[in-house]
Structure 1
């Protein structure tokens, strides 16, 4: 079918920093963590969801194209639009009759029978810029006025709405292994401009993703810096120190009754469990993959991040986020940070660098999961903080002659596959120029609700620090027609 909370006092010892770093707190203004509502989903709700195709996804891989991917040059092309809009790329046939993708995505085109292309997402934000675009697409909530008044100085706050991945993670039990939400190969963006929306925020820091670090220079090396034992410390010595701390902690029980201290204890336990776990080192060891598998994905950091994401799915991690890692070697050519923020030379940057890398790696992920019988239980989502201006030319790169596309939050596309999604289809459409949604207009709230639907996350009730209930996302509806 085609178709400003008060900042809490944080311990500054090295041990406390280890915990905070492992939890990925950097950049947050801390407050009291919200506690989860006790209400659980009823059996009848879950059964009805499964009958309609939802609730199949045990894991989610969100591939976020940092910078703002051009929807009109990839999966929502406008070949009939005037030349000043359509650009030089041609649409090409895919494995599904009538579903066309950019000619520079030949490998993905072969996987089109597993793809759902959503072309009518309007994520308009009050700044038309990255911070607010991240927040809207990662939480499903419209950014508040502080994004406009503070601009790039807008930091992640403890009373922000939570990241979609943190919500899903909070609804899953403790598997005793890896954390329920993991993010790699970096935390966007460079300090002090940490992007809001990627943290658990008001849901509680205990549900923050664990950040795994990778680099362009060493794409096979992944680690959580705070989980690397320093100096000559061995696992045996760490166990001994842990036992000593447990003895000393007996004298602190009264203090440990406070909510903040309970949270720190949870992070201590999680960090130590990870340090002592053989599963942690095994999952991160992408170099142990057969060379033929690595070659199919590609050799870069984004390719290896997707391969690591597949390994995390095998380890039953519920939510994995891969934020596209920019390559600073090409930043001057694209008037960007080396990612999808193609203010200048948009077409050459896409053709030479971004599209081939994406095409090989993402098509490999789909194919790999399918061959391992993991695709139906793994929801894949490709998203970005915005689309790009359908009309070619960005004043900051020389206008039309600079061949760039500026920010455009008024229309973008989202790809989905697996997790109960029916492949080989499109949903919604944009207008003839790709400027605004036309048929079946959607918002990032609808995308978030679709992720919740696919994962069976139908309990969105939580309590704030004073025990008052609230809904984590009232807006939006799941796109059940995709399933």
Structure 2
């Protein structure tokens, strides 16, 4: 796994808001890049179709925004409320008649037909946790989520894994001092067999581009130099020669010219770069040579 260290912008509990950019993450439990390549090869050998251009099943990525903007500042501006109560933003029309959203989300408004706004959630009690967002139940007499399973655990129980080597429910939450925020959801009465797989520990060892931080992503030459150093280290090392076929393929991917081309923003469409904004916060990698997973915090 390739990691680029990030700057230290932290939550109130001390966890960096944008701690790192990971490429080919989840290096545990069959989710490292060599294991992905190995699983794909096995599937092909067994005559099963491997769809590299898109999954043949539906997947869900749930992003929990602790301290995020409120619903009434984004999707339900409550313009009928008194001025001293409602927010300061104005609504704009979307591509769906009757749905208006915040004026500061014009791109989302143009694609509203591709989204669904869920209005059936209700406010939780005075609890400083994510239980109701992850399960639909607040904490109660039976503990967290009042003993009910999280959405991820429910999917794991009902659907199971797509591939035996890949857990059906993966949690990438960052440890926090306020532990309820670092929990991707509990299995409840389903039992620990349906708990989230949370990669951590020594198995998350990384191949790092030493000295290349998100602060320096604006300096593309420094970033490309870091990749070149990584490639030279692999060439000089005996690790490559002693690795199996799939690990070699993983090294080849990380050191490939396609990866370097993906980092070259000069090859991206100018209008796309303008949409993201130019500067250190712009995306570091294009879509065409993107990794299996890219986790940004």
TM-score by length of 1: 0.33
TM-score by length of 2: 0.49
